[in-house]
Chains A and B, each alone.
Chain A
Amino acid sequence: MADTTVGGAASATYVDTPDFAERIRKRDAQALEEVVRRYLPQILRAARGAGLAPQLSEDVAQDTFVTFVETAPRFEGRSHVRTWLFGILYKKIAAARRNLGRDNEMDDIEAVFDQRFDETGSWTRPPRPVDSEVYDSEVRQGIDGCLDRVPTNQRMAFVLREIEGMDTKEICKILEITSTNLGVLLHRVRNRLRECLEAKGIEP
Protein backbone atom coordinates (compact mmCIF):
# COMPACT_ATOMS: atom_id res chain seq x y z
CA MET A 1 0.00 0.00 0.00
CA ALA A 2 1.32 3.43 -0.88
CA ASP A 3 2.37 5.79 1.88
CA THR A 4 -0.60 8.03 2.48
CA THR A 5 0.69 10.16 5.34
CA VAL A 6 0.82 13.90 4.74
CA GLY A 7 3.76 14.66 2.50
CA GLY A 8 4.81 11.02 2.36
CA ALA A 9 7.82 11.93 4.50
CA ALA A 10 10.27 9.28 5.61
CA SER A 11 10.91 8.08 2.04
CA ALA A 12 13.06 5.10 2.97
CA THR A 13 15.11 4.14 -0.07
CA TYR A 14 18.36 2.37 -0.74
CA VAL A 15 20.26 5.32 0.72
CA ASP A 16 18.80 4.15 4.01
CA THR A 17 19.99 0.57 3.79
CA PRO A 18 22.73 -0.79 6.10
CA ASP A 19 25.00 -1.26 3.07
CA PHE A 20 24.72 2.36 2.14
CA ALA A 21 25.30 3.46 5.75
CA GLU A 22 28.50 1.43 5.67
CA ARG A 23 29.62 3.18 2.48
CA ILE A 24 28.89 6.55 4.06
CA ARG A 25 30.92 5.60 7.14
CA LYS A 26 33.82 4.70 4.86
CA ARG A 27 33.34 7.97 2.98
CA ASP A 28 32.91 6.20 -0.29
CA ALA A 29 33.08 9.03 -2.84
CA GLN A 30 30.21 7.71 -4.95
CA ALA A 31 27.94 7.33 -1.95
CA LEU A 32 28.70 10.86 -0.78
CA GLU A 33 28.06 12.22 -4.25
CA GLU A 34 24.75 10.40 -4.31
CA VAL A 35 23.76 12.06 -1.02
CA VAL A 36 24.72 15.52 -2.28
CA ARG A 37 22.82 15.14 -5.55
CA ARG A 38 19.80 13.72 -3.85
CA TYR A 39 19.41 16.15 -0.98
CA LEU A 40 21.00 19.44 -2.02
CA PRO A 41 17.79 20.85 -3.53
CA GLN A 42 15.86 20.08 -0.34
CA ILE A 43 18.60 21.39 1.95
CA LEU A 44 18.82 24.60 -0.05
CA ARG A 45 15.08 25.10 -0.06
CA ALA A 46 14.88 24.55 3.70
CA ALA A 47 17.69 27.05 4.31
CA ARG A 48 15.85 29.63 2.21
CA GLY A 49 12.61 28.74 3.96
CA ALA A 50 14.30 29.32 7.30
CA GLY A 51 14.81 32.92 6.24
CA LEU A 52 18.43 33.01 5.14
CA ALA A 53 19.33 35.23 2.17
CA PRO A 54 20.25 33.41 -1.08
CA GLN A 55 24.03 33.68 -0.69
CA LEU A 56 23.93 32.74 2.99
CA SER A 57 21.66 29.78 2.16
CA GLU A 58 24.21 28.49 -0.33
CA ASP A 59 27.02 28.88 2.21
CA VAL A 60 25.01 27.10 4.88
CA ALA A 61 24.11 24.29 2.45
CA GLN A 62 27.78 23.90 1.56
CA ASP A 63 28.81 23.85 5.24
CA THR A 64 26.12 21.28 5.96
CA PHE A 65 27.54 18.83 3.44
CA VAL A 66 31.11 19.47 4.52
CA THR A 67 30.15 18.68 8.13
CA PHE A 68 28.23 15.67 6.87
CA VAL A 69 31.37 14.30 5.23
CA GLU A 70 33.49 15.13 8.26
CA THR A 71 31.14 13.34 10.61
CA ALA A 72 30.31 10.49 8.19
CA PRO A 73 32.44 7.91 10.05
CA ARG A 74 30.09 8.35 13.02
CA PHE A 75 26.94 7.71 10.98
CA GLU A 76 25.40 4.56 12.40
CA GLY A 77 22.45 4.30 10.06
CA ARG A 78 19.99 4.30 12.94
CA SER A 79 18.19 7.27 11.45
CA HIS A 80 17.59 8.13 7.81
CA VAL A 81 20.40 9.90 5.96
CA ARG A 82 18.04 12.80 5.43
CA THR A 83 17.31 13.08 9.16
CA TRP A 84 21.03 13.18 9.92
CA LEU A 85 21.61 15.82 7.23
CA PHE A 86 18.78 18.03 8.37
CA GLY A 87 20.00 17.77 11.96
CA ILE A 88 23.29 19.27 10.78
CA LEU A 89 21.46 21.89 8.73
CA TYR A 90 19.36 22.93 11.72
CA LYS A 91 22.45 23.62 13.83
CA LYS A 92 24.00 25.67 11.02
CA ILE A 93 20.83 27.68 10.52
CA ALA A 94 20.50 28.32 14.25
CA ALA A 95 24.10 29.60 14.31
CA ALA A 96 23.58 31.78 11.24
CA ARG A 97 20.41 33.29 12.65
CA ARG A 98 22.08 33.94 15.99
CA ASN A 99 24.74 35.90 14.13
CA LEU A 100 22.03 37.90 12.40
CA GLY A 101 20.43 38.62 15.77
CA ARG A 102 17.26 36.91 14.63
CA ASP A 103 17.14 34.32 17.36
CA ASN A 104 14.94 33.96 20.40
CA GLU A 105 12.95 37.10 20.08
CA MET A 106 10.24 37.79 22.63
CA ASP A 107 7.43 35.38 22.21
CA ASP A 108 4.10 36.39 23.68
CA ILE A 109 1.96 34.43 21.29
CA GLU A 110 0.48 32.16 24.00
CA ALA A 111 -1.03 35.21 25.72
CA VAL A 112 -2.33 36.50 22.40
CA PHE A 113 -3.88 33.11 21.66
CA ASP A 114 -5.54 33.02 25.09
CA GLN A 115 -7.14 36.41 24.46
CA ARG A 116 -8.89 34.98 21.43
CA PHE A 117 -11.21 32.98 23.70
CA ASP A 118 -13.60 33.74 26.53
CA GLU A 119 -13.71 31.85 29.83
CA THR A 120 -15.83 29.07 28.29
CA GLY A 121 -13.25 28.54 25.54
CA SER A 122 -15.37 30.06 22.76
CA TRP A 123 -13.97 32.48 20.19
CA THR A 124 -14.20 36.14 21.21
CA ARG A 125 -13.47 37.34 17.67
CA PRO A 126 -14.21 34.33 15.48
CA PRO A 127 -12.08 33.59 12.42
CA ARG A 128 -14.02 34.09 9.24
CA PRO A 129 -14.40 31.22 6.81
CA VAL A 130 -11.92 31.23 3.93
CA ASP A 131 -13.79 31.47 0.69
CA SER A 132 -11.75 33.67 -1.58
CA GLU A 133 -8.70 33.35 -3.76
CA VAL A 134 -7.96 36.94 -2.83
CA TYR A 135 -7.16 35.74 0.68
CA ASP A 136 -4.81 33.05 -0.63
CA SER A 137 -2.84 35.48 -2.77
CA GLU A 138 -2.69 38.08 0.01
CA VAL A 139 -1.38 35.47 2.42
CA ARG A 140 1.25 34.51 -0.13
CA GLN A 141 2.41 38.12 -0.34
CA GLY A 142 2.28 38.80 3.36
CA ILE A 143 3.78 35.65 4.78
CA ASP A 144 7.48 36.36 4.18
CA GLY A 145 7.65 39.40 6.41
CA CYS A 146 5.65 37.58 9.06
CA LEU A 147 8.01 34.62 9.15
CA ASP A 148 10.97 36.95 9.73
CA ARG A 149 9.92 37.62 13.29
CA VAL A 150 9.53 33.97 14.24
CA PRO A 151 12.16 32.33 16.50
CA THR A 152 14.43 29.83 14.74
CA ASN A 153 13.13 26.62 16.29
CA GLN A 154 9.52 27.53 15.54
CA ARG A 155 10.39 28.54 12.03
CA MET A 156 12.33 25.36 11.38
CA ALA A 157 9.47 23.24 12.73
CA PHE A 158 7.12 25.05 10.36
CA VAL A 159 9.44 24.68 7.35
CA LEU A 160 10.03 20.95 7.91
CA ARG A 161 6.34 20.28 8.45
CA GLU A 162 4.70 22.51 5.87
CA ILE A 163 7.33 22.90 3.17
CA GLU A 164 9.24 19.63 3.37
CA GLY A 165 6.17 17.65 4.45
CA MET A 166 8.06 15.54 6.97
CA ASP A 167 6.24 13.52 9.59
CA THR A 168 6.36 14.69 13.18
CA LYS A 169 8.61 11.83 14.30
CA GLU A 170 11.38 12.80 11.89
CA ILE A 171 11.10 16.49 12.79
CA CYS A 172 11.45 15.64 16.50
CA LYS A 173 14.69 13.79 15.74
CA ILE A 174 16.07 16.65 13.66
CA LEU A 175 15.26 19.34 16.22
CA GLU A 176 16.05 16.99 19.13
CA ILE A 177 12.77 17.66 20.91
CA THR A 178 9.77 15.67 22.17
CA SER A 179 6.50 15.48 20.27
CA THR A 180 4.91 17.67 22.94
CA ASN A 181 7.57 20.33 22.34
CA LEU A 182 6.97 20.12 18.62
CA GLY A 183 3.25 20.58 19.16
CA VAL A 184 3.97 23.76 21.13
CA LEU A 185 6.32 25.08 18.43
CA LEU A 186 3.84 24.44 15.61
CA HIS A 187 0.99 25.93 17.62
CA ARG A 188 3.00 29.08 18.28
CA VAL A 189 4.34 29.60 14.79
CA ARG A 190 0.99 29.04 13.09
CA ASN A 191 -0.85 31.37 15.45
CA ARG A 192 1.90 33.95 15.20
CA LEU A 193 1.65 33.89 11.41
CA ARG A 194 -2.11 34.15 11.55
CA GLU A 195 -1.96 37.09 13.98
CA CYS A 196 0.74 38.78 11.91
CA LEU A 197 -1.28 38.49 8.72
CA GLU A 198 -4.34 39.79 10.48
CA ALA A 199 -2.38 42.74 11.84
CA LYS A 200 -1.46 43.53 8.24
CA GLY A 201 -5.16 43.59 7.44
CA ILE A 202 -5.03 40.25 5.66
CA GLU A 203 -8.23 38.48 6.64
CA PRO A 204 -10.59 36.26 4.73
Chain B
Amino acid sequence: MPNCKEVARLIASDELAAAAWSDRALVRLHLLMCRHCRGYAAQLRAIGAAARDQADLGVVDRAAFEQLQSSILERCIDASDVNVEDGRDRDPEPPAEQTDPR
Protein backbone atom coordinates (compact mmCIF):
# COMPACT_ATOMS: atom_id res chain seq x y z
CA MET B 1 0.00 0.00 0.00
CA PRO B 2 1.50 3.38 -0.98
CA ASN B 3 1.87 5.99 1.77
CA CYS B 4 0.51 9.55 1.64
CA LYS B 5 3.73 11.01 0.29
CA GLU B 6 3.79 8.55 -2.61
CA VAL B 7 0.12 9.10 -3.36
CA ALA B 8 0.53 12.89 -3.29
CA ARG B 9 3.46 12.69 -5.68
CA LEU B 10 1.57 10.45 -8.10
CA ILE B 11 -1.40 12.81 -8.11
CA ALA B 12 0.58 16.02 -8.50
CA SER B 13 2.79 14.65 -11.27
CA ASP B 14 -0.10 13.25 -13.33
CA GLU B 15 1.72 9.94 -13.40
CA LEU B 16 -1.21 7.94 -12.11
CA ALA B 17 -2.71 7.40 -15.56
CA ALA B 18 0.52 5.81 -16.78
CA ALA B 19 0.92 3.59 -13.69
CA ALA B 20 0.18 -0.14 -13.69
CA TRP B 21 -3.47 -0.93 -13.00
CA SER B 22 -2.54 -2.64 -9.74
CA ASP B 23 -0.82 0.55 -8.55
CA ARG B 24 -3.81 2.61 -9.64
CA ALA B 25 -6.09 0.33 -7.68
CA LEU B 26 -3.92 0.69 -4.56
CA VAL B 27 -3.92 4.48 -4.89
CA ARG B 28 -7.69 4.47 -5.28
CA LEU B 29 -7.99 2.33 -2.18
CA HIS B 30 -5.71 4.71 -0.30
CA LEU B 31 -7.83 7.68 -1.38
CA LEU B 32 -10.98 5.93 -0.20
CA MET B 33 -9.51 5.57 3.25
CA CYS B 34 -7.52 8.82 3.54
CA ARG B 35 -9.39 12.09 3.69
CA HIS B 36 -6.13 14.05 3.86
CA CYS B 37 -5.05 12.85 0.44
CA ARG B 38 -8.57 13.39 -0.89
CA GLY B 39 -8.34 16.95 0.39
CA TYR B 40 -4.97 17.38 -1.29
CA ALA B 41 -6.31 16.11 -4.63
CA ALA B 42 -9.32 18.43 -4.34
CA GLN B 43 -7.05 21.40 -3.66
CA LEU B 44 -5.00 20.68 -6.79
CA ARG B 45 -8.22 20.39 -8.79
CA ALA B 46 -9.41 23.73 -7.43
CA ILE B 47 -6.08 25.31 -8.39
CA GLY B 48 -6.37 23.99 -11.95
CA ALA B 49 -9.96 25.19 -12.24
CA ALA B 50 -9.00 28.65 -10.95
CA ALA B 51 -6.23 28.89 -13.55
CA ARG B 52 -8.71 27.99 -16.30
CA ASP B 53 -11.17 30.62 -15.10
CA GLN B 54 -8.47 33.28 -14.97
CA ALA B 55 -7.30 32.42 -18.47
CA ASP B 56 -10.78 32.83 -19.90
CA LEU B 57 -11.15 36.19 -18.18
CA GLY B 58 -7.82 37.37 -19.56
CA VAL B 59 -8.91 37.16 -23.19
CA VAL B 60 -8.47 40.47 -25.01
CA ASP B 61 -11.46 42.32 -26.36
CA ARG B 62 -12.91 41.47 -29.74
CA ALA B 63 -11.66 44.55 -31.60
CA ALA B 64 -8.08 44.19 -30.34
CA PHE B 65 -8.14 40.52 -31.28
CA GLU B 66 -9.38 41.22 -34.83
CA GLN B 67 -6.69 43.84 -35.26
CA LEU B 68 -3.98 41.49 -34.10
CA GLN B 69 -5.29 38.73 -36.34
CA SER B 70 -5.31 40.90 -39.46
CA SER B 71 -1.85 42.19 -38.69
CA ILE B 72 -0.54 38.64 -38.34
CA LEU B 73 -2.34 37.50 -41.48
CA GLU B 74 -0.85 40.42 -43.38
CA ARG B 75 2.65 39.58 -42.23
CA CYS B 76 2.24 35.86 -42.81
CA ILE B 77 0.71 36.18 -46.23
CA ASP B 78 3.39 38.72 -47.13
CA ALA B 79 5.99 36.18 -46.17
CA SER B 80 4.26 33.44 -48.15
CA ASP B 81 3.16 35.23 -51.32
CA VAL B 82 6.60 36.17 -52.49
CA ASN B 83 5.93 35.22 -56.07
CA VAL B 84 2.80 37.24 -56.74
CA GLU B 85 2.63 39.33 -59.88
CA ASP B 86 3.48 42.79 -58.49
CA GLY B 87 6.82 41.30 -57.50
CA ARG B 88 7.68 44.08 -55.07
CA ASP B 89 8.84 41.67 -52.37
CA ARG B 90 11.02 39.15 -54.04
CA ASP B 91 12.07 36.32 -51.79
CA PRO B 92 15.83 36.46 -51.25
CA GLU B 93 15.89 32.66 -51.42
CA PRO B 94 14.35 31.41 -54.66
CA PRO B 95 11.96 28.47 -54.24
CA ALA B 96 13.73 25.13 -54.32
CA GLU B 97 12.07 23.87 -57.50
CA GLN B 98 13.58 26.65 -59.63
CA THR B 99 16.95 24.98 -59.87
CA ASP B 100 19.65 26.77 -61.74
CA PRO B 101 20.17 25.07 -65.13
CA ARG B 102 23.87 24.58 -65.35
Name A's B-contacting residues (CB within 8 A): 27-29, 32-33, 36-37, 40-41, 44-45, 48-49, 54, 58, 61-62, 65-66, 68-70, 72-73, 113, 116-117, 120-123, 126-130, 135-136, 139-140, 143-144, 147, 158-159, 161-163, 168, 179, 182-184, 186-187, 190-191, 193-194, 197, 204
Contact = CB atoms under 8 A, between A and B. Distances in A.
Interface of B: 3-6, 8-9, 12-15, 17-18, 35-40, 42-56, 58-60, 64-65, 68-69, 71-73, 75-77, 79-81, 96
A135 B3 contact: no
A182 B81 CA distance: 39
B68 A61 contact: yes
Chain B interface, >50% SS class? helix
Contacts of A121: 3-6
A110 to B, nearest CB: 10
B4 A183 contact: no
Given A36-B69, A58-B68, A129-B35, A197 B47 contact: yes
Contacts of B77: 29, 32-33
A153 to B, nearest CB: 14
A29 to B, nearest CB: 5
Contacts of B76: 32-33, 36, 65-66, 68-69
B6 A65 contact: no
B90 to A, nearest CB: 15
Contacts of A73: 96
Closest 10 CB pairs of A and B: A121-B3, A183-B13, A126-B36, A121-B5, A27-B80, A130-B42, A129-B39, A162-B48, A127-B39, A187-B13
